[in-house]
Amino acid sequence: MTDKRTAKSESEVREELQLRIRTEGVQVAYDTALGICRDAEAPAPAKATALTALFRVAGYFEKTEGSATKDLSEMDADELAAVHARLERQLEALERAGPIGDADGPDDDGGPDRADRDNVFG
């Protein structure tokens, strides 16, 4: 006996899944993140991750009009030099911060913790 059901193509399955993710999935993700933020007993790293996700989705981490940057291909030599200098400073700050550890305490090696590293850029 043969199966009379029509097999869905990979693209049809993908489209249906993407629709569910954009509707049901987003709602569940939002509810979960908000629940973590409101949970008084949730660990600090979980709260930080949840609130970062909420703020990012809400657009709070997007560049503002005054701080918009050009594409590198549109910059002149002085602008490229300034970007290079800023990235070098950030790299040096990351190297000074050391390895990432727990967010709520010093690393086993006595180095900075994750919170210190996340605050490198102010």
Considering the domain architecture, whether residues 72 and 99 belong to the same structural domain is answered as yes
> pTM, whole model, 2 decimals?
0.44
The pLDDT score that the predictor gives to residue 3 is: 53
Considering the domain architecture, whether residues 58 and 69 belong to the same structural domain is answered as no
Per-residue pLDDT tens over the stretch 61-117: 776 554 557 788 888 899 888 888 888 888 888 777 766 544 444 444 444 444 544
The pLDDT score that the predictor gives to residue 100 is: 54
How many structural domains does the chain have? 2
Range of the domain at 75: 65-122
DSSP string, 28-52: HHHHHHHHHHH-TTS-HHHHHHHHH
Find where tokens 């180095």 sit.
111
Per-residue pLDDT tens over the stretch 21-68: 989 998 999 999 999 999 999 999 999 999 889 888 888 777 655 455
